[in-house]
Every structure is written in C-alpha cells, then in structure tokens.
Structure 1
C-alpha cells in the first residue's frame, strides 16, 4: 500500500479573484464552483492574502464523529494561520460531500500541516484519501513526508474526472496497518476547471499508441514557467494555478539562455489554445540553447524530475515563437526518458505564425526496473532538418501523473535520512529544555520551508536514500522538489531545516536562484567537517571536499563560525554568482545559513588551484601551452564579467588561487566575495575602500581608492608574470628589490633581462614570438595608470594571439591593427556564455541574446 511522496508543492494558497462566485451546495444551475474550506474552523476566516475561507462543518456527512483541533505550535514558515493552524481530526472513516456541476472537471487541493493536535502523536497521522472511487493517498504520512521534504506544510493538487451525479465524496480513512492512527486535514479546495485535456497524449516509444487523458484522474506533479519568473495564481486568468521557475530542474551546467518577448508583443490565442491552457506570461518567456551553433550541437537542453515509479505520466510542453517567423529556421528533436518523442519539432510549422501558442502532450510509463524513477525531458537541434539556426526553445512544462488501472494515484512515503531524524530529535530536546514544556515531536516546526517572495522563486532539494520499509508503512526514497516559502507573514527567514533566521544576509531573489542546503546535509556531506576533508584554507575559512545527493562531489567553503567578518563576502558571493553562468566562472550550487554558519557549496574542481601547479607543491610542472590555455580561460571569465554580464562586475581579487581547474584543466574564476558592480556610463570608477590581496593590488586603486575594471587588469598582469616565472608574488626572503614579483619583473623588462627570471621548467618550450608578445601584454597590464592598461578584451585577444604564435611560429600572418575594443573578435572565441536573466526582466537585455542569433556579431 502506498502514499505519494512526490507532488507539486503549492506553497501559496492559490489566490482567487475576490469577486469569484462561491457556490453553495445544491446549486446545480451554476456551471462553476469554488469551495475554500478551513477545516476545523468555527467561522469564516481571512488568510494573510485577504482570501476568505469558510468552515467545513456543513460539508461533512451527518454521521461524522470527527473532532476539531488547533496546532500547538506555529512554524515560522507558514504563510498564514488560515487554514493551517486549525485541523479536522478523524478517528474513523469520514466523508465530505460537495455539489459540483455535472460533466465538469475540477481541481481538488488538500492542505496538511503535520503538527501536534489534541496531544496526538504526529507520527500516528497515517491515512488514505479516496474521491469518487479514485485513491488519491494511501497510508499517507504527512509527518514522514514533511520530515523528508523539509517542509512545514504540504499541498497536493488533483484533477478529477467529471461526475454525472453532480456530487463528489472525499473520504478520509485512518490506516488499518498502524494501531492508534488517525486522519486529519487543514484545508480543502474544490474548484471548477475547464477541460484542458481534450487530446490524447502520444505514448513515447509506441508510434501507434496513446493515452486517453480526458477520462483519467490526474495528479499535478510539476507546473513550470520555463525561462521566466514564477507566476502566482491571481495572474493565471482566474484559474488559480501557480507556475514556478524551471531552473531547479535543469541538468548540468549547460542551461541555455532565457529571454522574453517585447512589452508590445501580443500572444495570439486560438480556439485550440486559449488562456485556459496557459496564461500569456508563460508564452512570452522562453529558454533557448544560446547563440553558438557549434556548442548547441554538442549538448542537450535537459530537465530532470523525480517521480513515483509504476505510473504513466503526461508531459505537456508549451511553445510560442516570438523571435523567428519562418518554417525551419529553428527545428529540434524532443526526447522523453531518452526516447524520441518528436523529431524535427518546428513551432512555426505547428502554429503557422509568430506569436501563436501551441502545446504538445507526450505520455511515458515509468517502471521501477532501473530504480531511477525519473523523467528526463531533453531538447536538441535537429541536425537532419538542417535548420537556419541550430537551437531549441521551450516556454512552459507540466507533468501530470495518470491513475493506474486500479484507479489509484497514491505513491510511496519518502524516507527521511538518519541525519535529519537525529537533527530533529536534537532540536526537540533543545526546545523542550529551553521552555520546560513538551509540545510533542513538532514535525511541522522542524520541517520548515524556505522563505521567498510572494512570486515564490524556487530552490530545490534532491536527496537519494535506499528504499526501505518501516513500521508496516511503505516508504519511498529519493526526491527532488523545489522548496517554496512566503516571507510576508514571518519576521525572519525560515531555513530548510525549519529554523527561523531573522538575521539572514541573503536577499530572497539571490536565495531563489540557487539551492538552500540545510546544515545536516552539509555535515553529512563533509563527515561533520572532518579535517581529513579539508582541501584548502582562505580568508573566508576552510574549504572541504564533500558529497551531496548520494555521491556528487562538491567543494564546501565554511566561514569561521566564531567570526562575523565574512558576512559581506558571503552575501556578495551569492548575489553575484547566483545570477551568472559561464564556462570560465566557477558554478555556485547553493548555500547554507543556519545556526550562525555561513557555508557556500560549489562545483568540485578536481585539479585545484592554478597556483599549486606553478610552485610550492610536488605536482608536475605545467607545460607552457597548458599555462597559456589556462590563462586564456581565466581571461575569458574576467572579460565576461567586465562586458558580457548585464552590469560590469569588477572581481577585485584576481590571483592564481582564485583560478580553479576542473578535471579537464578548464580554468574557472572563483571567489566573488570582494566583487563590486562597476561604474555606470556617467562615472568612470567606483569609490570604495581598498580591498584585495597584497602583491596583486592595483597601485592606482590603492592611492586614489577609486576602483575600475582596469584594477582587475593590473592583478591579471601579476598573474601572467606568476605564470611565466613560477614564483610567489611576494617573497620576503629575497633581496628588497626582488620581494615584489611585479616590481622585479618590470625592472628586469626595462633592463632587458626578463628572460633570466623565467621558470626553468619552461626552457626551450616557448617560441620567441610568443614570449615577446606575452611579456609585452603582461607589462602593459602593469602600467601605473589605468588608462594606459589594455582592456580585458585586448588582453584576451593578445593571449589568443600568443597561443597561435606558439603553435605556428613564424608561419602565421595575423593583422594586429585592431580597434581598442576587440569584443566582436573575442566573442567568437568565447564558447558558451550563459547568464541567468535578471529576475526583474529587462526587455532590452533579454532580447539582445536573440539579436545575435539572427545577426551574429559581438555583444
């Protein structure tokens, strides 16, 4: 027997328009209903968003012997006391009865807050829910689910088939397998919905088979606005659906680019696709693969979803072209679970015109033979179609679970990890000790959500554990869910473990763009910060090698717990990196801010820092070509910060320890704790306190306390000499004139003896033409005045020229007469340049991406 572990979590209450009609039981003449019941409440009540909830008493069967109760503890992440603080408790099977229009589909939404009611043990709240013969939940434990998903409260949405009688019975039954079990519910919504499932869904892998969605009962698993912001219910044409951000489900670093139609662009709905299918906000934003056709042909744009096994799922993809207007300009293949769902998809070919939305439904059965229990959706340019642009597009995505042949939709309960259970027990012990009164095992207080804005920007948690069975209740392991929150009703931020943190240093926008780890996840991944896991120490604190999600290697940077000096650096790192994605920038996976800890989680860089491969280590010396390629990669990352992101970003701490190397020796610029947003068009600098690392610090910045992007150029010039000479930038053991590498290198260059201080390991490796150009570039970077230094784009051009000179000495003719801004030349060499679109949506900055696709030229 099962209870579903994975659902679409609607953290907001699904706002309704205030003038919507509330139909009483026994009003068959109306073609719509909207019931919002606060179960166990004694009268009408209004939630924090101003919506009215009614008591549930008149909808209960006459034989009902249930009890009402109030939760003994209010979790700080609850968006409102209504409907979650009141509950209806059932000790025997009991039913609600609703009058609905016949032959009309409707949403059924159930809300649960597993807290302590009437001194009942939350762990005994195990029950089933059946609606008109369909099993929606079976041996469902809200307590277990809240623990495993680190959520304080749970909401589930079902789309039920029309009923001829016009009556819907929803029955709650305590589990027969658990002695002393009971059922409860905090809120119920019954909402009429249009019939949006009129077409059969093609069964992937079977050309002649389809799934009849119209006659099926469905559970909403995911509903995503791809490439755009979350859409709240009151922006969904009165249909009260919530569309969430898709970024938590993207697979890998190749996440494409997001874009938006112009403000004056109008979505042209048709009789087949109306706003009932999806609101215009879904169709006016999209995620595409990017402007580089060669890159696009070598990767898939992929989303991964964790689901229940042994069910059929309908994957609905929403499309609308607002960038191109001809057939075969953009054609792509669609894959669902590694099987071709659609070859040569052409949105213009389907819709016939720009701005006309279409959707496609595909069905896939997911068994448990492989144990993965996932749905993968991938897009790839159609090579065989030879389109004008090798690209793909997606505007929206929904996934629905279809009832099985026994009219069942119930999955399995998730399994909380042992670390989580222990953490909750410790938390409860602390709370009881501090208050002197035991409120019981407060699952709701411990399994908190992540606070966010009312638009509910998403972050996610993905945990893999082994399948197990405990206490007679079937358990399911593995989940991948976004954790949403609501900040307007809580004075502080609620962490993923449910602990309120009123001194959060991270904006809700930045927090919504990356994953929020709980402290127990971090401790588990680092073996409780075992010293054997330490792979580095910096100004912020120690860096640990760790694992997440059952084995993924990550780098975990932990601030010194006894110091608050890293607060600004912690905040800046998240604010900067959460909005940037680039091949040569280290990827920030997420953060943890709990119990005074400030922890950052990054992709693991297998080859460590650039410096440890240059000197002061036992590692083999890098070849000159390797050093040159790594320098070029770092220059690309810095060049992107200066000119490719929405605003100029000045790194302010460029050095070889902040250039990391992945397993393929690709350079990644890291450590954005000191970074600053650059000056605007009317101001050439940023006035700020001098910060950075001695030896790399721009002397002009030090003198004038005026920061420009040329300060990064100076620091990078020091890096270039570090690469060439393989010695520390400051060495107090040397004679005074040699202590500073920058000063000594410039001195040697003036005297014509620079070749004497080159790393002996490079003897005979560097071609004279390459060496001359490299030294010339490094010297220009160290010019005393910023105006005399090259731009980062010019530095990149020169280094790429050096590589060509090295590979083809004497045989290469390259025109060196170039404009000061060589950005157009550089962009063609940069590879993937992917930026998460600013969440506030600037039309010009977002549309410029596609302008390069149509007119390939420098940004």
Structure 2
C-alpha cells in the first residue's frame, strides 16, 4: 500500500468512524439514584440498539408549554439508533429542565443533537444557548454548522459539572435573539454521577503556579486512545466514555510506530490510581517515535488540535511502559504549544515498573488572539539525560476546556473547511434530479456515513487530483483533508513554470529589501528541514537558516491555510521595508514564489523579553538591564510615532514583541497589525479592534478609534510586566488580580506597589527610581488617551529613572539629570529628523546577525 493509498484509507476510515460512532452510553440506569437518560420529545420510554433504556423527558420540564415535540423527517444511515435521535424537543422561547442530583458529586452532562428537518423547521435556523446552573455551555450554537464542519450526522457534547450545592440541576435552552426564526432543540440528555477524577494541574510556563481543576466545570474536547483503536463507551472503565483513534491528529508524516502489550505484559493499576481514570485497553497500546535514534533526535512526535481561544485547557497524558523495564531507558520532554510542560519524563521512573499505568495533567492558557485556535502537543527525546534509547511514548490523551472567570465554556461555531464547501458546491451543481438523486444519496450514505457522504467522496477525489510533485522530488499538496494546512495563498499569480509573476507587493518592496528566490530559501534551510525549525506561530513555522552561505537569519514561512497570514505578510513587508532603526527588528527580505509567503529577518540571539521575565527557564534580568531594555523599546516606538515619514501605530506592543540581540539591545518586532496613523486633520484612525488582550487600550476598545496613545497604554502594561515579572493576564489569580494593569494601578494608588514587584528585584531598586518608574507606568495606563504621555515623554522619564538608579541622591541631581535627559531627548529627536532614505542606507547592518524573532519562544498569532 503506497503512501497516497494509506492517507486516503486513513481519511475514509476516520470519516466512517466519525459517522458511525455508537451513542454515548451510561452505566447508570433510570433506577440509579440521581441518574437520568432522556429521549427528548419521545411520548414514551424506549430502548436503543444497545438495549439501553431512555425515558421520556416530559416530566422534567419546568415549563412544558413553551416547547413542542417533533419527529425527524429523515433518518441518516449513520445514526446508531432511532432512540434518542429521531425525536426532538423544540423550544421557541426560553425553557428549562430540572433534575435532582447529589450535592456532593460531580456528574457528566451529555447533550445529543441531530440537526435534521423537524416539521417545517429549517435546521439552519437553529441557533441557541444552553446554560446549566449558571455555567454557559453553548452560546449561539448551531448544530447544523457544527455537524457539517465535522462531517458528522449528529453531535454529542460532554461536560463534567461541579457538584450542585442546591441539589438541583437546571438546564436552560434559549433561542438566539440574533437570528430570525431561531429555535432551540435537543434530542437526548444524560445526567450521570461520576467520581471526582480531577485535582490540580501545573500551569505550563509558570513554574510556581497550578490550576485547581476539581473546582471547575469542564468540556471534553478530545479523548484519544493513542496508538490504539476506537474504544466504544461500552468498553470504558465505568465512566462510559468514548475513546477515538489519534492518527487523524498527528502532524505531518511523522506517525511514529504503534505497539501493543503482549500476553506476558500484565497491566495492573497501582493502589493510588483509580481504575476509572482510563480503561485497560488504553494502557495496552502505545505510540512511540521509532527505532532510529538519529531520526528521533531531529523531530518531534506531534499532534495538533483545533481549540477555542481565551480558555485554559487541561491536557491529560496517559502513560504505561509496555516494552522497557528500567529507569533512564526512555526519557523524553513534553511540550504544549511550544512551551516545556515536562522535562525528563521517564514512565518507569514515575510508575516504578513495567505495566503500571500513570497519568499526568498540565494546564495551559490559550490567548484570545487570531491564529491561536490550535493546541500543539509534542514529545521529543531528552538528549541531555543520555537515555539508553532516544525515544518517547504515549498511550492516551485527553483535553478538557475549563470554564473562564465568567463561568463560560462556549466557543464559536466551527468553520467548514474550504475543501468541504467546494465539495458541497460541486454536489449541488451536478446533483441529478428527482428519484435518481435520492437513490444516489442513499447508496453513498450507506457507505460513507449519510448525507455528507458525497462531500467526503468528492473531497477525497479533489485531494488526489491536487497531489503533485515538487521539482526536488518531494511531495506537496495544495489542499488537505484534515484541518492542518489548506489551500495555499499567494500575492502573485502562478505561472506554468512554477514561478509566480511579479505582484504589486513585489514592485512596492523592490529596492527596499531583498527578494529571495525559493531555491535560495530551500538551500538555506536544507529544504525546510524539520531539524531547522526553531518555532511555530500563527503565521507558520520559523526556521533557522543561512543566506549567502554564511549570514545566519530567521526565516518565517507561512502556513498556507492562514488568511490572516496573507494580510500580515503584506503589512510586514510594506511597513518594515521602509523602516530602519537601531531599536526595530530588521527585515532582510522576502520570497513569494510557488504559493509560498516567506519573510527573512535578522536573528535575535537572546529571544523575547518575556522569556527572561517569566515565560522560560532563563535566568532573570537585573533591574538596570530591564530598565535599559525598556528605554530601547521606548526609543523604537517613539521613532514609529514621530520619526518615520508617517505616524505608525504598532497596535500589538507586548513583551513577546520586544526582542533582544546578542548585546541585549531591545528591538520592537512584528508589524503585522500596524497601521498608519492619522494625518494633520485627524485625531484618530477608525478601525476594527485588534491586538492582545491584557494590553488593549480600553478607549480604543470602546470607541474603535486608534491613536498612538494606544501604543502608550500597551507599553504601560509592559512596564509593569517588567517590574512584576507576571503576565498581563493570569486567570488563575483572584478576580481583582487577573488583569495586571488593573491590579498594578490599584496597588500604586494604595501605596502597596512594592508588595507585587518581582521578588528578585526587592532591595535592588532605589526608592527614587522606583517612584519615577511606577509613576510613568501609571500615567501610561490612564483611561483616556489625552491624559497619557507621549512616547517621547515616556522615554524622557525612563532615562530619568535610569539616572536615579545610578545616582540615588536624586534631590541634588535633579537639575543635572534634567539637562542630561533633555540632551538625550534632543539628540534622539535630531536623529529622527534624518532623511528616511539616508536611514535606509546607513543604519542597516546585515552583519549584526541575531537569533530568534517575535514568535519563536511563545509562538502565538494575533
């Protein structure tokens, strides 16, 4: 079986699996205390194809007059049973169910949806919200859109709810007011008691913080039997969970190898591990990297998952060593979203012996930024530990979404892939009419899983027809089935020669930065070798490479499926190709050929400012060095605001976009969201709100009016971030402390700012310097832009603070310092008045190569 056939087989197998999943079962029955299994809209009790009893829901409605019952007009062949999916409870107004539950136990809540036509109701009009005991589970939810995007006929949503203190569970369905003729519906509801299998989880990126999971409501996002097959709920260990095959989520061609415990290896739960954590069949199979240590050292075993941004996720890893027997035989590192979750993971070291299951939980926060809708899990051999085998292993993986501080778990409706939409359009265009059409749909539905079978088949044909070979012999695809990479985009038009024609962008940047050929880029990265990858961001992968055979650079290659990447690519070139400044990261050149969008930057040897504050394992910076870095960043921003030919507003100022070269000079980076500022006749630019939560100017957020003072606000957050060594947002802190800006302002006004500064800095900052620094940051965070200082004033005050640090006797030196700061500001301002063309030729220094740029250590898109 060749590689294409294997891929297609996996695609079809995955599609069939999704379409034929057995109904999520429960071990409990209606006779069990506080356990409910309801067929909504059914007139009487019934039994499904697995002999499980479902009870009518009518007696649990608190206002049954607000609802009607209905029967689906058609039955998709992939439905596991007519019960509960062929009947539905329809709500045209807010309605609720009420259940008596234990006030001490957590419980599963499973909601079943079959988006079919009920009477004269259009399934595409069903938009609604679901609330359970104050937690928002779904908001503006469309089962029709979700089913189409996932190529499934029906949807099951599983939640783990905290104990109901009142002893009552109230589930409320509310049709959306934003859609005409909207209604809510549900086909089945399960309320099943469960043991509390959650505790606390360390927060990735924060060595001393953890998340208390047992006090949260969770949504099950993924549950995978890694290296094994689909496990139906009937084979689960008491909790009636469904476990899926992990292979559709693997990144690239690096599938590793799968293994299964032989008859001699007996899997036994240790006394401190509940058998309800996962079934034995999960621990009996595993996926590892393979037998070649040289290969394993140069790649990661990686899975990618679509998630909703602005939530904390609990990632549970299940391990059981089924082949090796000794400590330090197989040791590996665990990464989540390119951050180290665990160094030196040794399953035998954790479990004590072969065949003993163990699990580890980690928490990670996904920022609410465009492009941050993926969660990456990667394993890599721990070379530093010198294990006997350079390998990694994983048996099972679960990902749970944790409710936010507002009690919300709802995310947006998914977007169907471009391929699926293309297939649907093709199906409609060429669909035969009348009875013959119904026959064709019926036949394909029986094979491929229902109404989406034609879309699946067409998409696969489309996939094959677009497979092609590169000139170098490697295979590439202009489209893919799984939502990893889709159709590539280019700013130029493709020609038959494999080159792209000159575009407006190319002409615009001509003469301002270098236009690399794709061949040069491939040569500098060894044909985009995975061993050269140094980071992954919302735009795409970042490679370490060389140009002209010797100059070390950072090469950012676009993810072809990212529409946001096209805009960023253009903005980055158009902005940075015109700017050169000591404190701005340098764009060396770009490549737009064969559908590729590639940017080439200077290397930045010391990475981002954030990783030296709290996001990495590097030693903290002394106070004076932090202050000098802030001054450098302020100079770069001041140049953008006043020194370029037009005012430029960065719009995404944060510590990950302040980079440090080998001399620890600060450089502002990442201009993908930058905007040209208002002209002399304007006070602001009206534009859609973009940026990073925690740094957003509240006035800009409220009024959608952007000014350079928006950058000043963001920089004020950066100043407090530098002082306190904590993130701009930390959802695990008490509500009043979640926002650094709000908490720092509160402490500043209460005179307790010294209580929240980085403990490593205490006693190392002079009182005068600290007072000037915090006063400056406080002014930057003024609610209204007119009350904030200009970036020039911020720069002046930071220079002053630096002098007060060097000369604590500030009262005697104020006049001297004022003169010196004025001189510094005057010199800087004079430099800004240099003709921009001379800056382009004089300030660029391509020999000053540096290591890493904006999104390498913390690969987050905007």
- Separation of aligned partners in 1, 2:139 and 2:298: 44
- Separation of aligned partners in 1, 2:451 and 2:464: 16
**Number of the residue aligned with 1:307:** 307
- Separation of aligned partners in 1, 2:430 and 2:245: 36
* Cα RMSD after superposing both structures: 3.3
**Number of the residue aligned with 1:298:** 298
Contact in 2 for aligned 1:327/1:346 (Cα 8 Å)? yes
Does the alignment pair 1:551 with 2:487? yes
Cα deviation 1:527-585 (Å, max 9, x = unaligned): 8x9xxx8999xxxxxx99743342379xxxxxxxxxxxxxxxxxxxxxxxxxxxxxxxx
- Separation of aligned partners in 2, 1:544 and 1:320: 36
Cα deviation 1:696-716 (Å, max 9, x = unaligned): xxxxxxxxxxxxxxxxxxxxx
- Partner residue of 2:452 out of 475, 478, 498: 498
Contact in 2 for aligned 1:257/1:288 (Cα 8 Å)? yes
- Separation of aligned partners in 2, 1:292 and 1:172: 54
**Number of the residue aligned with 2:8:** none
- Separation of aligned partners in 2, 1:310 and 1:9: 30
Contact in 1 for aligned 2:114/2:153 (Cα 8 Å)? yes
Q: Residues 436 and 248 of structure 1: is their aligned pair in 2 closer, same or farther, counting only changes over 3 Å?
A: closer
Does the alignment pair 1:218 with 2:221? no
**Number of the residue aligned with 1:12:** 22
- Separation of aligned partners in 2, 1:234 and 1:524: 35
Contact in 2 for aligned 1:224/1:244 (Cα 8 Å)? yes
Does the alignment pair 1:137 with 2:76? no
**Secondary structure at 2:304 match in 1:** strand
Contact in 2 for aligned 1:283/1:318 (Cα 8 Å)? yes
**Secondary structure at 1:384 match in 2:** helix
Contact in 2 for aligned 1:526/1:545 (Cα 8 Å)? no
Contact in 1 for aligned 2:19/2:450 (Cα 8 Å)? no
- Separation of aligned partners in 2, 1:181 and 1:356: 52
**Secondary structure at 2:340 match in 1:** strand
What's the TM-score, normalizing by structure 1? 0.51
Does the alignment pair 1:208 with 2:140? no
The equivalences for 1:637-648 within 5 A come to none
Contact in 1 for aligned 2:448/2:456 (Cα 8 Å)? no
**Secondary structure at 2:237 match in 1:** coil
- Separation of aligned partners in 2, 1:398 and 1:544: 31
Cα deviation 1:774-816 (Å, max 9, x = unaligned): xxxxxxxxxxxxxxxxxxxxxxxxxxxxxxxxxxxxxxxxxxx
Q: Residues 250 and 232 of structure 1: is their aligned pair in 2 closer, same or farther, counting only changes over 3 Å?
A: same
Q: Residues 85 and 359 of structure 1: is their aligned pair in 2 closer, same or farther, counting only changes over 3 Å?
A: same
Q: Structure 1 unaligned segments of length 5 or more: list them.
A: 1-7, 25-29, 440-444, 452-489, 501-515, 537-542, 554-662, 664-859
Between the two proteins, the alignment pairs up a number of residues equal to 465
Contact in 2 for aligned 1:64/1:94 (Cα 8 Å)? no
**Number of the residue aligned with 2:53:** 52
Contact in 1 for aligned 2:312/2:365 (Cα 8 Å)? yes
**Number of the residue aligned with 2:30:** 22
**Number of the residue aligned with 2:70:** 69
- Separation of aligned partners in 2, 1:183 and 1:134: 18
- Separation of aligned partners in 1, 2:70 and 2:427: 24
1:433: how far off?
A: 4.1
**Number of the residue aligned with 2:337:** 337
The equivalences for 1:480-519 within 5 A come to 492-494=446-448, 498-499=452-453, 517-519=456-458
Contact in 1 for aligned 2:30/2:55 (Cα 8 Å)? no
**Secondary structure at 1:413 match in 2:** coil
**Secondary structure at 1:83 match in 2:** helix
- Separation of aligned partners in 1, 2:252 and 2:23: 32
Does the alignment pair 1:188 with 2:196? no
1:179: how far off?
A: 2.3
Does the alignment pair 1:79 with 2:80? yes
- Separation of aligned partners in 2, 1:322 and 1:144: 42
The structure with more helix, counted as a fraction of residues: 2
Cα deviation 1:698-741 (Å, max 9, x = unaligned): xxxxxxxxxxxxxxxxxxxxxxxxxxxxxxxxxxxxxxxxxxxx
1:23: how far off?
A: 3.5
The equivalences for 1:566-581 within 5 A come to none
- Separation of aligned partners in 2, 1:10 and 1:98: 30
1:178: how far off?
A: 1.3
Contact in 2 for aligned 1:204/1:340 (Cα 8 Å)? yes
The equivalences for 1:285-684 within 5 A come to 285-369=285-369, 371-416=371-416, 420=420, 424=424, 433-435=433-435, 492-494=446-448, 498-499=452-453, 517-520=456-459, 522-523=461-462, 546-548=478-480, 549-551=485-487
- Separation of aligned partners in 2, 1:387 and 1:424: 51
Cα deviation 1:175-199 (Å, max 9, x = unaligned): 01112211001111111111110x2
Q: Structure 2 unaligned segments of length 5 or more: list them.
A: 1-17, 490-595, 597-862
Contact in 1 for aligned 2:20/2:449 (Cα 8 Å)? no
The equivalences for 1:94-173 within 5 A come to 94-173=95-174
**Number of the residue aligned with 1:256:** 256
**Secondary structure at 2:93 match in 1:** coil
**Secondary structure at 1:341 match in 2:** strand
1:50: how far off?
A: 2.1
- Separation of aligned partners in 2, 1:429 and 1:42: 40
Cα deviation 1:825-850 (Å, max 9, x = unaligned): xxxxxxxxxxxxxxxxxxxxxxxxxx
Contact in 2 for aligned 1:75/1:498 (Cα 8 Å)? no
- Separation of aligned partners in 1, 2:161 and 2:421: 35
- Separation of aligned partners in 2, 1:303 and 1:417: 19
- Separation of aligned partners in 2, 1:239 and 1:12: 15
Q: Which protein, 1 or 2, shows the higher relative CO under an 8 Å CA cutoff with sep ≥ 6? A: 1
**Number of the residue aligned with 1:90:** 91
**Number of the residue aligned with 1:783:** none
Q: Residues 288 and 545 of structure 1: is their aligned pair in 2 closer, same or farther, counting only changes over 3 Å?
A: closer
**Number of the residue aligned with 1:177:** 178
- Separation of aligned partners in 2, 1:200 and 1:310: 20
